[in-house]
Structure 1
Amino acid sequence: MLPDLADLLADAHVVALPMRVRFRGITTREALVLRGPAGWTEFSPFVEYDDTEAAAWLRAAIDFGWTDHDAAADSVPVNATVPAIAPDAVADLLGRYPGCTTAKVKVAEPGTTLDDDVARVAEVRRVMGPSAAVRVDANGFWSVDRATAALERLAPYDLQYAEQPCATVPELADLRSRTAGLGVRIAADESVRRASDPLAVARAGAADVLVVKAQPLGGITAARSLVAEAGLPCVVSSALDTSVGLGMGAFLAAAAMSPGYAAGLGTAAMFGTDVTTEPLLPVDGRVPVRRTAVSRDLLERNAASPERTAWWRARLERVHAVLAGA
């Protein structure tokens, strides 16, 4: 059931959270948090997404804010996230993720080289030791030829998997075939969350692992159904959410994530502040599965400018109309 727009806007707040490091090309994360009958929820599609794509994010916000979800566990393991930083900054950054034994390392960032990526991954492996799980995430920036060459150089660092090394499902299938002897599994992210058919990558045999995110897939209920139908191991990750959205992801991870993997839900460590006095920061390598209690004081202190607040409220109104029309 779609709540009235007035109900969505009744206790809605737009925040702009400064980030400790540049990630995904931004240094400030904007989000709209709102309160539903079940608790606080979040609507934060990236600003470049159109209203049709953002509709899934609003469905997720409604699913979490208007539905009581049971916690299938008290906490879930999470990975450290390493942006495209210099090797000499790696150790300090990993210190923000106490107890984490898995790291996801960004590679293929525009303006960087493969040598940069190899040096960064090598330093993560050195700092974390041989028993840690190390993943890389290329966000689809490599061609099949470049991805093949990159994974040949990165494979000696014992990668758990390579996330979205190429942009399309056929490219992922080709790469998976070419690199079968390297022992590096292929994970699909954008080919799931930004696809018109999220199950196409599984049917094509183009990935070994699915990376799923609660907001882009329409919420906990929809994402759980997709994971069950896909029949592949699943890792739950964040979409650079506030601790409210991370709570949504934690509920999904507790219910749907495959054993032996860490969720990408430790990203509150990337923010200089949050919307709560109890952010979902990693402790002993895990985050709790709970709803976030939002601080009114932090909502006020981190409020976006009046112009950006108006932009987000207008966006919510348009996306609500998209859902109403559907």
Structure 2
Amino acid sequence: MFSPPPIEDLLAAAHVVSLPMLVKFRGVMAREVMLFDGPAGWSEFGPFLEYDDEESSRWLASAVEAGWLGYPEAARHWVPVNATVPAVSADLVPAVLGAFDGVHTVKIKVAEAGQSLRDDAARVGAVRHLLPDAKIRVDANGGWDVGQAVSALRMLSVFGLEYAEQPVATIEDMAAVRSALRGSVLIAADESVRKATDPLAVARAGAADLLVVKAAPLGGVRRALEIVAEAGLPAVVSSALDSSVGIRTGLALAAALPQLRYACGLGTVALMGGDVASPSLVASAGGMAVRDIVADPDLLAHFAVPAQRSDWWLDRLRRCHALL
């Protein structure tokens, strides 16, 4: 088993940045992450601010793996990538999609707090109108109950859905929604994998048709590959609103999967108004070539957080390192 480096090595290699968003995503207009200049390459530690230390320590394990051990061998050198449409009003959909090059698949956020199913239908309909041949998937982030999910997905299915991601919060409810829809809409599990004590429980319960996996929350690329193999379900690789450095880790996971049937959610740098690398790791012609990323010192300095926020992240790093 790979042993993490001493905390002194991590502290010496750390940089904290705040990257502006072009549109609000997960309720924020700026994304704070910590980056490491490790001996095997750059890596990212970016658990969201509200995550506790135990959950965040898995993200640190992923960053340590990437920066100090490196990535496993790739099975492919090009990965299809979907566009992502946040919970914006329908009139903003063209501008959001305009940030993505060669769109063949689109993931659309639905079930946003304070919005209605009518808002969701308008957003999904706007995407379908603009891209009549694209594959469309929706992501509720567990925002519906069973009844709401079944009704909403039956309604939204008129637009042609590739699948619905995490329509409800619990595994039991996921199984109930999947049973009620009887295959008319495929169900993908995200939070039920990456936030679960047992990431394989959703597969054993027959609650999903496919898994959405993210390297950082699962503890790294190698652990994510093990989970996919044990689950025996198709997998989609997604990002966690990362910089290009973090996207490189997701790209490594997608590249290493033995099979990859679905476009991956690794295009979210296109939603940001700044990045730590130039050129950024963004999709072109509907996909991404596998390549390494090096953070630009000038960009690190430009987007560096104030001292108070840096201290907050360094304290978080010490606490999470103690849990590895």
Report the TM-score range of the alignment, normalised by the length of the smaller protein: over 0.9
1:13, 1:33 within 8 Å by CA — same for their partners in 2? yes
2:248 is matched by which residue type in structure 1? G
- Residues 61, 219 of structure 1: 8 Å contact kept: yes
Q: Structure 1: state its 5+ residue gaps.
A: none
- Distance between the aligned counterparts of 1:162 and 1:22, measured in 2? 22
Counterpart of 2:187, as a letter, is I
Q: Equivalents in 2 of 1:76, 1:284: separation in Å? A: 11
Residues 1:259 and 2:252 aligned together: no
Q: Offset of 1:259 from its aligned partner?
A: 3.2
For the pair 1:28 / 2:26, whether they are aligned, the reply is no
Q: Cα distance, 1:258 vs. partner? A: 4.0
Please say if residues 108 and 114 of structure 1, whose CA atoms lie closer than 8 Å, have aligned partners that are also in contact. Answer: yes
Counterpart among 71, 75, 83 of residue 86 in structure 2: 83
1:265 and 1:288 mapped to 2: Cα distance?
12
Alignment partners' CA distance in 2, 1:151 and 1:258: 27
Counterparts of residues 131-280 of structure 1 (less than 5 Å): 131-180=133-182, 183-256=184-257, 258-280=259-281
Q: Is the 8 A contact 2:254 2:260 kept in 1?
A: no
Show the counterpart of 2:41.
Answer: 39
For 2:239, the aligned partner's letter is S
For residues 318 and 7 of structure 2, the distance between their equivalents in structure 1, rounded to whole angstroms, comes to 7
Worse-matched range after superposition: 16-25 or 73-82: 73-82
| Preserved CA contact (<8 Å) 1:235 1:258 | no
| Matching residue within 47, 57, 61 for 1:55 | 57
Q: Secondary structure at the match of 1:10?
A: helix
CA RMSD of aligned residues (A): 1.0
In the other structure, the counterpart of 2:114 is 111
Residue pair 1:59, 1:219 contacting (<8 A) in 2 also: yes
The Cα shift of 1:287 comes to 1.6
Distance 2:235 2:35 in 1: 27
The superposition leaves residues 273-315 of structure 1 with CA deviations (integer Å, 9 ceiling, x where unpaired) of 1001111111111122122111000000000111111000100
CA contact (8 A) 1:52 1:322 kept: yes
Q: Which secondary structure does the structure 1 equivalent of 2:162 belong to?
A: strand
Q: For residue 282 of structure 2, what is the aligned residue in structure 1?
A: 281
2-side partners of 1:137 and 1:226: how far apart? 21
For the pair 1:120 / 2:92, whether they are aligned, the reply is: no
Written as runs of structure 1 = structure 2, the 5 A alignment for 1:65-80 is 65-69=67-71, 70-80=73-83
How far has the Cα of 1:255 moved from its partner? 1.2
Q: Secondary structure at the match of 2:323?
A: helix
Q: Per-residue deviation at 1:66?
A: 1.2
Q: Deviations over 1:148-199 (max 9, x none)?
A: 1101110111100000000000000001001115x11000000000000000
Distance 1:275 1:121 in 2: 32
**Counterpart code for 1:102:** T
Partners of 2:107 and 2:56 in 1: CA distance: 26
Q: Give the CA deviation at 1:64.
A: 0.7
The residue matched to 1:316 in structure 2 has which SS?
helix
Is the CA contact 2:276–2:295 (under 8 Å) kept in the aligned structure 1?
A: yes
Q: Could you report, residue by residue, the CA deviation over 1:223-267 in whole angstroms, capped at 9, with x for unpaired residues?
A: 001100000000000011110010000010011174331000000
Q: Distance in 2 between matches of 1:34 and 1:269?
A: 22
| TM-score calculated relative to the size of structure 1 | 0.97
State the distance in 1 between where 2:78 and 2:18 align: 27
AA matched with 2:100: Y
TM-score under structure 2 length normalisation: 0.97
What is the identity, as a one-letter code, of the residue corresponding to 1:255?
A: A
Structure-2 separation of matches of 1:165 and 1:306: 40
Shift of 1:71: 3.1
Number of matched residues? 321
1:74 deviates by 2.0
Give the drift of 1:113: 0.4
Q: Deviations over 1:103-129 (max 9, x none)?
A: 000000011100000010011111111
**Structure 2, unpaired ranges of 5+:** none
Give the CA deviation at 1:11.
1.9
Aligned equivalent of 1:298: 299
State the alpha-carbon separation in 1 of the partners of residues 39 and 227 from structure 2.
26
CA contact (8 A) 2:234 2:261 kept: no
